[in-house]
A and B are shown apart, each in its own frame.
Chain A
Amino acid sequence: MSSKSTGYLVLETGEIYSGVWHGSGGIDRAGEVVFNTSHSGYEEIATDPSYFSQIVMMTAPMQGNYGVDSSFWESRKIWIEGFVCLQVSQSERDHAWIQRLSENQVPLLSEVDTRQITLRLRSGGTPWGAVISAKSEAEALQKAKALIAERRKIEMDWAWLASRKEKEVRPGKKSNGPRIGVLDFGAKENIFRELEARCSELVIFPSRASVSEIMSANVDGLMLTNGPGDPGDVQVAPGTVRELIGVKPIFGICMGHQILGIALGGKTYKMKFGHRGSNHPIKDTLLQQVYMTSQNHGYAVEPSSLPSHTKVTHTNLNDGTVAGFYSEAKNCLGIQYHPESHPGPHDASGLFDFFVNNMIGKGKA
């Protein structure tokens, strides 16, 4: 089992919370501090590239309960900068989650008063912070300040940092299905799985792929994936997408949805503390249902900024924010949440069918 000592979560606004540090050696980390309200799915969350440069705090108090399973991974690595919770399984029989984070040099802080932090993030927004191994609060504050300042210098286009850098072709499972191009902003594996089940071939491009690269692949539709960071900082992709609107059926998820919004001429904004959890109610006027969704985003599309041919078709019922839009004229659909789930409910998976059957189907006809 890994070693234990005192650790701290320090917010750049000065708040400090103590806990038990699990990790081999002192690998302090910094990132935006966010909370997630899902009851299960810690491993999917940690491997979701959208959490790049974020310290994730789980509101569910017991973590690591069911061990680890590599088949749960949503990408090739663990992206989070730190994992914060109240209690983590650390028995002789089961401490796999502690071990896995430790092997991946991701600090884990437990026995933290997570509810106080949630209330702080809810009311004051999600600041940067750091998970620090230190002997005293003073030491932690000092180390955190330096670390945050340093980390903040990284490249702004996080989607590029999370994206694969080489084109990749994957076979689909449906031989008579369409060929789908994917613009990778830091995609979750389950988007690929959902698409593979419905198509003959997937062509996955880096986030900065050019229009001609995509056009030359001769795909039937384009998927814009999820990804981390501020959509306003994403380079190249908005322009690429703008040129492809109306040319190819386009389906954007999360970051992909925001990029699509920008490409359509819309604006995005940073939300106070975002949506991260598996219980967000959505009113979907496209599929005509109200259902539960998996969410993970800190930015949203401003509805008034969208062009008139684009209708807000999906609304988050908790706060009325835009959860999706659809332009029948331009044959494009943006969805802010995660129909691919993992973790979270599968209620919205019908949107992949809508993309393949209605949007691409129509394009073909």
Chain B
Amino acid sequence: MPKREDIKKVLIVGSGPIVIGQACEFDYSGTQACKALMNEGLEVILVNSNPATIMTDPEIATRVYVEPLKVEFLEKIIAKEKPDALIPTLGGQTALNLALELHQKGVLQKHRVQLLGADPQVIRAAEDREEFRGILDKVGAKYAKSEMVRTFEQGLLAAEKLGFPLILRPNYTLGGGGGGVAYSIDEYKRMIAQALHESPTSECLVEESILGWKEFELEVMRDRAGTFVVVCTIENFDPCGVHTGDSITVAPQQTLSDREYQSMRDEACKILNEVGVQTGGANIQFATHPQTGERVVIEMNPRVSRSSALASKATGFPIAKIAALLAVGYTLDEIKNDITKVTPSCYEPALDYIVTKIPRFAFEKFPGAKDLLTTQMKSVGEVMGIGRTLQESLMKAVQALEFHPEGFPEIKAQTEKISYPNSQRLFHLYQAVRDGKSLQELQDLTQIHPYFLEKLFDVVAVENEVKASKQLSADLLLKAKRHGMSDALIGRLCGQTSKGIRVSREAQNIFPSYQQVDTCAGEFASQTPYFYSTYWSKISAPAQFKSPMMVIGSGPNRIGQGIEFDYGCVRGVKALQRKGHQVIMINSNPETVSTDYDTSDILFFEPLTTEHVGEVLRWSKAQGFVAQLGGQTPISLAHELVAQGYQLVGSSLKAIDLAEDRGLFTKICQELDFKIPKAAMVHSFEQASQKVLEIGYPVICRPSYVLGGRRMEVIENIKELQSYFERHAEAISAERPCLMDQFLENALEVDVDLVRGQDWVVIGGIVEHIEAAGVHSGDSMGVLPPQRLKDATCERIEELSGKLADKLGILGHLNLQLAIKNDEIFILEANPRSSRSVPFVSKATGIPLVDLGVEAALGTLAKVLKPQRFQWRNSPAVSVKGVVFPFRKFPEADSLLGPEMKSTGESMGIGRDYPEALMKALLSSHVKFPSKGEVFFSLRDKDKSELLALAKDLIKMGYSVSGTRGTASFFAENGIQAMALRKVHEGRPHCVDRIRDGHVAFVVNTAKGRMSIDASFDIRRACTDLGIPCITESDAAEAFLLALTHSRSGVSEVNPLRPTEPM
């Protein structure tokens, strides 16, 4: 069955800003699908509100709309573009839900748009748990006993019937949002209320526990002729009870016999057919009892997913691409296998290696959040390790997490960190094995299948051999390497350095071999250069290296280093290719576009450590490596790689050091006209209390060598200073001092992204932060062009930034964070690399910053490049960057913004003017604009008069106003009628009761000082739980009002992104 002729133009919906449970895997799948459909000659219209994606680059689709993923905007786009069909299966749960809504509101029918891949029936069947259970009954599949609950009272009855522990699974939420495991009635009451709230349909499935069962996932595909394939089987290392996104997983499945597996496969096929999936990819999760083998179905997703991205990377089978082609009418036997080029796509990959995925968490970013894993996903990223054995792949994955070069450093094992699933469990488990705990003990504590635990014992046994050996023999060294142990770990065990082990490997000719991921376990010749390393072979696959250039990726997503850097890497690879280079991509993150086998010329799936990157540079004889695109990860590898003799391309080590070394950097800034906040390095409270007298409060404190503002706090007085040193004692020492900077209160902050070549500078743009200084740049909203900064100041910023780049000797990217106070320009930070804001700036201005960065790194001169072509002020539109936070996933965390970054993703609003752009950015960040109701204010003193006008405007617009007693009486004195509410400590009913009762439309809450912050925590938490806007900053409140006013006007347009300036 060939391509359908009735479909010429398709609409693809992305998944919006990165949130926990829905991350850059959808950039990967969307990009792949767009490319495949464009190749087929179709017109592709893409909508996504997330600027940090490759898929929203204007080159990827026929037209790209960066607009809110909301029905009213989609309808406008559909009316304008008149697509024949919409593919809703590539943009996660967001796209599926949106498609369903478009259908329910009649928009698709009205404009005659077909749904391809999944129709409303299928979406409902898979997502509505009751309907899904009906389907399971029909095909004879079992599921855990459960009750569908719609009210709190029903919930109590269900608990009585099923008994504890209970698993809560709210309907239609992503990443198991609002779900969890309840062990007691108290816990359950709190959780069921939240779950019903989180579900858009106010439904929650309450299920008997299958904790401790083995968990499996099948990634499957089906075409319209009914051909069914299992692309990949995945087994969870962590038994049931931990969300699969938070579990360590292994592919292919390891502990099922063929008979058990085939029966699972048959059931998956029946379910898929009964749900009615006509074409595309899906995933189905099963649990099996470890002793009896009894099997139940957990759930299915009729779309590409996080695990389908993992499956694609693990097998070489491009699920999203094939899903897109199936959607437009092809069948699996008509599509060639991209990797072998000779066999068809209707096959099930055979693996001759093992893949391990380990999630990466960010609990440390959310003080107060409990590090416990449940059925609600909490991880922010993941790594994948490929090895010939489970041991090798697991150890590689652990190194890829980038916590420690040893992978498993010595720690103090704690039993409760083993018995309760948590982000550190693997490390404590491994340590417990080292400490001599028995297999039985560990199995009792964790219920992890002994097959997996044995592999840890196996590696530790080799550790012990290494430790016991007087002289590390070649055989033993090879054995250790085959067990995946890093040079650093082996070195520590036998009293040598990592370098010592490397030298000894070299002397004994022990090198990794590189093997292909070929989809077929070597059965057919494959041309695709997608490699992983292993010590289990002496001979590497043939590869044709033509003095390649390496781009080092950004590793697992984490808060502070996410998809923005993958964007840079992918764009950088393409730019290098255009300049005639063969390009190697190396990365460990399976969710990304960069690790798609057809992004670069040669792909290495390897941990980003000096050892693994160095070995690839050695084998490939690369002419150099680019370290400025993948964020801080490659920058931190650069020194050692250069020391090993490899060539750094772009800004030299010297330039990097000048920018990163505070002392040297301060000197340079002083030579220019930059101001630098007063600062001191201190390592004790005593010292700090002295130095602070010179600097003056408020100060901002952070331990040196931190990423994304970890442990960074604004300190207002001596009491807080003392508390800071007490709370962060373990991170501050004489060797690792604390930086204490003058805090520029009420300053305006900006990001500058520029590229410098040998004799040119292009300013990419100046992004003005909407929140005042003090909020981490990754967490503040931003606008381009600046709205409050004077033109003259902008010009001075451009001039000074260019001069600074010259002075540092930057070749490529430089990102500056500046604060402007009383027209004075302070420099806060300089990053000698591509930054988080680069994709946003590129899309706002049309300037291909990454491409320019590559030109600069390669030494292109001004006369060839003609840099004056790129003028960031030329853009007629206003662009606002919005941010998205994961507070809902961390019930104990505070949503107050500060110098520590907490956001997971960003959105972009493009408008004719500032209010429209603001409104779109906020909508895209899931902020709802209430059209009427009560606005509650709780303000610190200095904001009261500032926000008076705002309160007056709100009353004019028809909102009512309430406030804490202090705020309300201030308002009353100034002629605003405001209802006075009690603060929480003043007794009930208090303001939080009023919020939780649903009387409040939104909240403006500014707090100063730790005391008042702690006191107002409950207010912010209530807003987070109820999903009502809570504005914690006066500048943000003013911006919110602008957006709110605009949203009430009801006017807004949708426009495609303008094309990028050609190079």
Contact = CB atoms under 8 A, between A and B. Distances in A.
Given A37-B520, A86-B388, A113-B537, A62 B354 contact: yes
Interface of A: 35, 37-41, 44, 59-62, 65-66, 69, 72, 86-87, 89, 91, 93-94, 113-116, 118-119, 122, 277-281, 283, 289-292, 317-319, 341-347
Nearest to B353: A61
30 contacts: A37-B352, A37-B523, A38-B350, A39-B252, A39-B261, A40-B256, A44-B258, A60-B252, A60-B350, A62-B254, A65-B255, A69-B257, A72-B258, A87-B389, A89-B451, A113-B537, A115-B522, A115-B537, A116-B539, A122-B524, A281-B344, A290-B346, A291-B228, A292-B348, A341-B262, A342-B258, A343-B258, A344-B258, A346-B262, A346-B265
Contacts of A341: 262
B228 A346 contact: no
Nearest to A123: B525
B331 interface: yes
B350 A39 contact: yes
Contacts of B451: 65, 89, 94
A237 to B, nearest CB: 30
B524 A37 contact: no
Interface of B: 225-229, 233, 252-259, 261-262, 265-266, 331-333, 342-344, 346-354, 388-390, 439, 450-451, 454, 457-458, 515, 520-525, 536-539
A288 B768 CA distance: 63
A114 B539 CA distance: 12
Contacts of B333: 281, 283, 290, 317
Nearest to B337: A318
B258 A93 contact: no
A312 to B, nearest CB: 16
A149 to B, nearest CB: 29
A122 B525 contact: yes
Contacts of B450: 91, 93-94
Contact of B331 (A60, A118, A290, A346): A290
Given A65-B255, A87-B389, 10 more contacts: A35-B523, A59-B352, A60-B351, A61-B352, A61-B354, A65-B254, A66-B255, A118-B522, A279-B348, A281-B333
A86 B391 CA distance: 12
A121 B538 CA distance: 18
Nearest to A279: B348
Contacts, number: 147
A347 to B, nearest CB: 8
Contacts of B351: 39, 60
Greatest chain A CB density within 10 A among B258, B348, B351, B524 is at B258
B347 A318 contact: yes
A279 B352 contact: no
A345 to B, nearest CB: 6
B265 A345 contact: yes
A250 to B, nearest CB: 28
A167 B342 CA distance: 46
Nearest to A280: B347
Greatest chain B CB density within 10 A among A118, A122, A289, A290 is at A290
B454 A279 contact: no
Contacts of A41: 257-258
B352 A115 contact: yes
Contacts of B331: 290
Contacts of B354: 61-62
A59 B521 contact: yes
Contact of A277 (B226, B346, B523): B523
For the complex of A and B, the 4 pairs showing the least CB-CB separation, nearest first, are A41-B258, A118-B522, A59-B521, A343-B258
Contacts of A91: 450, 454, 457-458
B955 to A, nearest CB: 68
A86 B535 CA distance: 12
Given A40-B261, A66-B255, A114-B352, A292 B229 contact: yes
Contact of A118 (B229, B256, B259, B521): B521
A217 B842 CA distance: 82
Contacts of A69: 257
Given A86-B536, A279-B350, A38 B522 contact: no
A94 B458 CA distance: 13
A119 B522 contact: yes
A290 B223 CA distance: 10
B233 A39 contact: yes
A119 B113 CA distance: 49
Contacts of B227: 289-291
A164 B522 CA distance: 36
A30 to B, nearest CB: 23
A40 B351 CA distance: 11
A42 to B, nearest CB: 8
A91 B227 CA distance: 40
Contacts of A86: 388-389, 536
B141 to A, nearest CB: 16
A89 B452 CA distance: 11
Contacts of A62: 254, 354, 389-390
B454 A93 contact: yes
Nearest to A341: B262
A87 B262 CA distance: 23
Nearest to B390: A62
Given A40-B257, A59-B521, A290-B346, A113 B538 contact: yes
Contacts of B389: 61-62, 86-87
A278 B351 CA distance: 12
A106 B820 CA distance: 79
Contacts of B253: 39-40
Contacts of B266: 346
A344 B347 contact: no
A51 B925 CA distance: 61
Contact of B258 (A38, A115, A281, A317): A38
A11 B572 CA distance: 48
Contact of A279 (B257, B332, B349, B525): B349
A60 B344 CA distance: 21
A309 B963 CA distance: 91
Contact of A66 (B233, B257, B349, B520): B257
